[in-house]
Amino acid sequence: MKEFIKINLNNARNGEHYQYHNDVLGIISEGFATQYLLSPLRTTYTTLFAEEDRAYKQNQAYAKTKEIEECDRKRDDLFVFVRQMIDSGLYHPVPEKRAAAERLSFALKPYRLANQQPFAENTALVTNLTQDLLGEDYRDDVHLLDLQGPVEMLDKANNEFNTLYGMRSGEKLERYERDNMKAIRPKVDEAFRSLIGGIGALYQVNELITHDIVKAEELGGVIDRVNALSRQLQETIARRRSKGGSPEPEPPAPDPQNPPAEDGGGSETPQAT
């Protein structure tokens, strides 16, 4: 019988926490919640997430200095180059290189849209990708496609961005905004647990009593997709710990006399509210 895996979100960086819940809301849609009479639980979740969304975007607006954006662009350009080289290799006339590209394409799949994610999530995904590509499983394939240099450059650019981003965020750090994020995150997590608890209960009732095939597929599919997000985040946190990575700097407080722009960027907009 399927069930949601337990995940401790306390060690997720602010960007990772934000993106995780944003993705979950994309999976547990408003239509799904209405169909299974879960709308009150989802509404509570989306309302609280909207508060986190505002706080997070405010933090992002202060972090987006010209220097950081240039460093991010350099990293994204290298990422896109590596991705395109792997994609091109799928059509290589040499069978061995084509096979290598197919294996690398499989490794790349979870990270293909890394450059479209918010800063912290982008950094985490690229870190995971470069560790995979430079590891034992794919090292020979990377060499075969002459990608050793570009992947190492991508890893270096990613580390440079992470260092600069941490410095810039730290320079603007104040307690007000830090406490604001610390206050809202546990509330969002609790609303999330209530919602998936409702879904899990419906799934169990169907498995034990109702035996509706359509419900089993729909409810089970949501459980599978949310679990996939949870496992990916758990892996990201575990890898950071194994490398001894420093925690994410707390978000800076807004300057009341110089408020950030309202738009806050595109990729950080929640998928559902």
**Domain range annotation of the chain:** 14-64+175-242, 66-171
- Provide the 10 A C-beta neighbour count for residue 90: 14
List, in order, residues 6 or more apart from 244 with CB less than 8 Å away. none
Tokens representing residue 219 in the block: 């409810």
Q: Is 100 left (phi over 0), alpha (psi -120 to 50) or beta?
A: alpha
DSSP state of 115: G
* pLDDT the model gives residue 180: 76
End-to-end alpha-carbon separation of the chain, Å?
30
Q: Give Cβ neighbours of residue 199 (< 8 Å, ≥ 6 apart).
A: 4, 28, 36, 38, 219, 222, 223
Kindly give the confidence (pLDDT) of every residue in the chain, 273 residues in length, as a single tens digit, with 9 standing for 90 and above: 999 999 999 999 888 999 999 999 999 999 999 999 999 999 999 999 999 998 887 766 666 677 888 999 999 999 999 999 999 999 999 999 999 999 999 999 999 999 999 888 899 999 999 999 999 999 999 999 999 999 999 999 999 999 988 776 655 544 555 667 788 999 999 999 999 999 999 999 999 999 999 999 999 999 999 999 999 999 999 988 876 654 444 443 434 344 444 333 333 334 443
What pLDDT is stored for residue 85 in this prediction?
98
Q: How far is CA 62 from the centre of its chain?
A: 20
Angle at CA 224, nearest 5°, toward 84 and 234? 70
The answer to whether the CB of 248 falls within 8 A of the CB of 182 is no
CB within 8 A of 81, min separation 6: which ones? 150
Say what the pLDDT of residue 178 is: 62
pLDDT confidence of residue 267: 38
* Residue 142 · residue 133 · CB < 8 Å: yes
Q: Is 1 in contact with 12 (CB distance < 8 Å)?
A: no
